[in-house]
Chain A
Amino acid sequence: DTEVTQTPKHLVMGMTNKKSLKCEQHMGHRAMYWYKQKAKKPPELMFVYSYEKLSINESVPSRFSPECPNSSLLNLHLHALQPEDSALYLCASGGGPSSPGELFFGEGSRLTVL
């Protein structure tokens, strides 16, 4: 199984809602990543979990709250978002020391904030 599964594929939420994005992988990867991608832009790193611990937070606003319940799951909790947070949120896993250490991406969750 070389898949990273993200749910939901699409999400529309108001600025006062609380919602969560979910990501799952069963490749035994110990690092999991959240990226944000705006239209016609490259993915921008948000968070990295390594061995279930948060190891990188790229100064992301606290209205985004990541969680790694176990080595296969990664969540992104959303609260009080702004319309400019509308984007494609990509989850990835991998980053191990073995060659070539690439990232495997999910299909993304497209978020619209009204």
Chain B
Amino acid sequence: GEDVEQSLFLSVREGDSSVINCTYTDSSSTYLYWYKQEPGAGLQLLTYIFSNMDMKQDQRLTVLLNKKDKHLSLRIADTQTGDSAIYFCAERNTTSGTYKYIFGTGTRLKVLA
């Protein structure tokens, strides 16, 4: 099947904004998520958006959703060195009554001091 696509790599300077993009596949997904993964660790939920919203702001994080184009983005304001990690978007769909979560290809964010 189709992959949930993300750009592979993003490098920004400390204090700048970062924008990570995601193109998902299932137009019926009710929730879309952003997860962060630091080296050697599991995935940590950062934020999410319900499909009937087009924007959500949560402190330094802003999520934009374009359902027509199946495009999701995550903006991190005032990016810090501690934000360096891999970021995955994820869509949730239903198979045989069970929720299934499909992860994007991941974007490695590097923040330069």
B residues neighboring A (CB under 8 Å) = 4, 31, 33, 35, 40-45, 48, 50, 88, 90, 92, 95-106, 108
Query: A34 in the interface, Cβ–Cβ < 8 Å?
Result: no
Report the nearest A residue to B108, measured CB to CB. A40
Interface pair A95/B42, CB less than 8 Å apart: no
Asked whether A105 lies within 8 Å of B42 as measured between CB atoms, the reply is yes
Instruction: Check if A66 is an interface residue, CB within 8 A of chain B.
Output: no
**By the criterion CB–CB under 8 Å, are B88 and A42 in contact?**
yes
- Number of interface residues, chain A, beta carbon within 8 A: 26
Considering the complex of A and B, which 5 residue pairs feature the smallest CB-CB distances, nearest first? A105-B42, A95-B99, A42-B103, A55-B98, A100-B48
In the complex, 10 of the A-B residue pairs with CB atoms within 8 angstroms, ordered by the A residue number, are A4-B42, A40-B108, A41-B106, A55-B98, A100-B50, A101-B92, A102-B31, A103-B45, A107-B42, A108-B40
List A contacts of B104 (CB < 8 A): 42
Q: Does A27 contact B (CB under 8 A)?
A: no
